[in-house]
């Protein structure tokens, strides 16, 4: 499920429920994104296994995107 909160700043929230048949595990994830300006997009996400992901993207022109991602697990 994806819901846009503010189209001007590209602010949105999302939720996902997934199930792995091979592992017999169900996971829930929630995330958000925000664009502080027209070239930058910041995303964050966390799931039920305490795995967090942060993505920071900068667009430079029509064909160049610089993307920095980091993630980790708590505990």
**pLDDT tens across the length of the chain (75 residues):** 889 999 999 999 999 999 999 999 999 999 999 988 888 888 898 888 877 888 888 877 676 677 777 877 655
Give the pLDDT of residue 73: 66
DSSP characters for 16-51?
A: EEEEETTTTEEEEEEEEEEEEETTEEEEEEEETT-E
Which residue bears the tokens 């039920």? 48
Range of the domain at 30: 2-73
Write down how long the chain is.
75
Give the pLDDT of residue 30: 93
Number of structural domains in the chain? 1
Give the pLDDT of residue 70: 80
What six digits make up the tokens of 59?
């667009």
- The values of phi and psi at residue 52, to 5°, are -110, 145
């Amino acid at each position: 499920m994806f819901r846009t909160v503010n189209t001007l700043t590209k602010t949105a929230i999302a939720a996902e429920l997934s199930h792995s048949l091979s592992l017999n595990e169900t996971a829930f994830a929630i995330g958000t994104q925000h664009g502080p300006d027209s070239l930058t997009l910041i995303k964050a996400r966390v799931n039920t296994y305490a795995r967090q992901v942060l993505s920071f993207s900068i667009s430079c022109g029509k064909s160049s995107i610089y993307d920095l991602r980091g993630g980790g697990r708590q505990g």
